[in-house]
Amino acid sequence: MSDAGQWFAEPPIRGWQQRFQVRERLFVGDSPYQHVEVLDTVPFGRMLTLDGAAQTTEADEHVYHEMLVHVPLFQHPTPRRVLIIGGGDGGTLRRVLQHPVALAVNVEIDELVVRAAREHLPGISAGAFDDPRAQVIIGDGAHFLQETELRFDVILVDSTDPVGAAKALFSADFFRSARRALAPGGLYAMQSGSPLLQSAELAEVARALASVFPSVRTYLASIPAYPGVLWSFTLAARDGALELPPQAELERRLAASGIQTGYYTPEVHRAAFALPAFVAALVRGEPRVAGHPLPGR
């Protein structure tokens, strides 16, 4: 069945919406957690949507996954054990396994997301689920963190927006159990939403993380399929202050890894932490820069 001429649009956020022309609807299904679709779109190729929100597309998944993974994994001098919470499409797992890690545990709550992505978006995981260093657990990430005896060098949270099932992944309680599961020198990174359209959520993440971790820094990337394009991630350190490695050191780590990237570079790593004044104000807990109101406020 052809869906050409159809458009997909997310539910509006603060009266704002963007839409994608759809060639074909490849998968539609409902799990106990959410409504799952894979669409073939004209601008970005295949796209995974969860409860009507664009999660990842073939065209720009590399931006999100490289920035969620390579920034913390090159920031850490020797990441060996990595935990991923969410990330059922496998794009995060794949980027983690490009590093010389010994173990990558991926806890995803929704088995249907893994199944739909493996079948209809195989290029995103690109074999990662079959890597012997990967341990994929279908289960609740918050529960896993409370119970696990393992200690990780890096914990990554690749979640949906902070609503519904994912809300628990944005709370101080969750951040506390994440910090407990980090090894000394460990790093925690998460996607933290649109600074323009989810500014209150980003401010809350920064506040709650700073109540648990001694050092927290926001960084940015441009992700075309996400609302507002400009996107935030937040990095937190279990111990001490987060200092960006010098350019030459990041270059050395990237070269030693042999990883090929489409977005991440050592320059981008460092530049991503340069925040526009309004984002810096937001994460400092100031609602706006005087005289420069934010959209939707």
Per CB under 6 A, 228 contacts ligand AG3: no
- Kindly state the tokens that stand for 127: 């074999």
| Contact window for ligand AG3 (CB under 6 A) among 88-96, 177-185, 240-248, 284-292 | 88-96
Per CB under 6 A, 158 contacts ligand AG3: yes
Among residues 72, 79, 87, 195, which is the contact residue for ligand AG3, using CB under 6 A?
A: 87
Question: At closest approach, how far in Å is the CB of 93 from ligand AG3?
Answer: 9
| Strand, helix or coil for residue 78 | coil
275-283 contacts, C-beta under 8 A, 24 or more apart: 275/218, 275/220, 278/195, 279/195, 279/202, 279/218, 279/220, 279/232, 282/195, 282/199, 282/202, 282/203, 282/206, 283/202, 283/203, 283/206, 283/218
The answer to whether 14 and 197 are in contact (CB under 8 A) is: yes
Q: Alpha helix (H) ranges present in 181-225?
A: 199-210
Catalytic annotation present for 3: no
| Contact window for ligand AG3 (CB under 6 A) among 14-22, 156-164, 249-257, 271-279 | 156-164
Tell me, by CB under 6 A, how many residues bind ligand AG3: 16
Interaction pattern, residues 36-55, with ligand AG3; x per rule: CB under 6 A? -----------------xxx
Q: Which residue of the set 3, 158, 173, 239 is catalytic?
A: 158
Q: Please state whether 75 falls in left (phi above 0), alpha (psi between -120 and 50) or beta.
A: alpha
Collect all residues with Cβ–Cβ distance below 8 Å to 184 and sequence separation of at least 6.
Answer: 238, 239
Question: At closest approach, how far in Å is the CB of 101 from ligand AG3?
Answer: 18
Residues numbered 90 to 129 that lie near ligand AG3 (CB under 6 A) are: 91-92
Binding site for ligand AG3 (CB under 6 A): 10, 53-56, 64, 87, 89, 91-92, 158, 160-161, 191, 226-227
What residues act catalytically?
158
